[in-house]
Amino acid sequence: MPIHRLKQFLDENEVKYVSISHSQAFTAMEIAEAAHIPGKELAKTVMVKLDGRLAMAVVRAPDHVGLSRLREATGAQDVELASEEDFAGRFPGCELGAMPPFGNLWDMDVFVDQRLREDEEIAFNAGSHTELVKLSYSDFERLVEPVVGEFSTAN
């Protein structure tokens, strides 16, 4: 989903947001540093497979997805990290690993760790390794309707 499609979706839903350009970075903490955003406000999207179905697990940049905790939170029998081959091509227009946590646009479940609710704002990759979108967490939750649970492990 190119950035213009994401922005169009946000505009159609009357969401106020800010686009943040930054130098190319690939890890969540590098992105937070490049964009001058606290790591706890940057959401990273981790692709997982829940009983064979792709889903998004969204955690703060410094945190990790605890697979056993995600299993408990989702009720899935089999929980594993998805390989890049599992989701390559699933997000047209997005750079691999830079997809925004809007699984609802791809008919994909989204699970958000409750720690992301601690801040009023959330920022995330906007489809590239050089641009973020920042908006209120409440708008994000309203648009995505994620399942919120406790499944991250703090780093």
Is 125 within a domain? no
- Residue 46's domain comprises 3-118+131-153
pLDDT of the chain, 155 residues: tens digit per residue: 457 778 889 999 999 999 998 888 888 888 888 888 888 889 999 999 999 999 999 999 999 999 999 999 999 999 999 999 999 889 888 898 899 999 998 899 999 999 999 989 999 999 998 999 999 999 999 999 999 999 998 76
The CATH number that applies at residue 11 is 3.90.960.10
pTM across the whole model: 0.92
Is 52 within a domain? yes
Is 123 within a domain? no
Residue-level pLDDT at 79 = 97
Is 114 within a domain? yes
Is 124 within a domain? no
Total structural domains within the chain: 1
Q: What is the separation of C-alpha 76 from the centre of its chain, rounded to a whole number of angstroms?
A: 20
Measuring CA to CA, which residue among 17, 11, 13, 51 is closest to residue 131?
17
Is 80 within a domain? yes
Residue-level pLDDT at 30 = 86
Residue-level pLDDT at 45 = 96
Beta-strand ranges (E) seen in 5-154 are 17-21, 42-50, 53-60, 64-65, 79-81, 109-113, 121-128, 131-136, 147-149, 152-153
